[in-house]
Amino acid sequence: MGSIDSRLRRLEESGGRCPECSLKSEQVLAYYPERGESAPEIPTCPECGRSLAHVVRVVYEDEGGGAIPIG
């Protein structure tokens, strides 16, 4: 686990930038499976293959009359 911890620490110290290509994941892609949507294609860095977006799966859970987004 030390390897994962050190990679996370380096990423946090770099401001979320990839240590290999210096690109930063800035795009957020949300999709709604209940509407029949499938996960979007994630753009990647051409140099290192790192994901350039965060994917959020939006699911609603009904709790007593209101829908609350989770995920």
Structural domain boundaries in the chain: 24-71
Cα–Cα distance for residue pair 51/49, rounded to 1 Å: 6
Query: In the prediction, which pLDDT does 14 show?
Result: 61
Q: Note the pLDDT tens digit of each residue in 8-60.
A: 677 667 666 666 777 766 778 889 988 899 988 988 888 788 788 888 888 88
What is the distance between the alpha carbons of residues 70 and 27, in angstroms, rounded to a whole number?
19
User: By C-alpha distance, which of 2, 27, 3 is closest to 16?
Assistant: 27
pLDDT in tens, 58-70: 888 764 444 555 5
pTM: 0.49
pLDDT at 9: 74
The pLDDT value recorded for residue 63 is 46
Kindly give the pairing relationship between strand 27-31 and strand 53-57: parallel
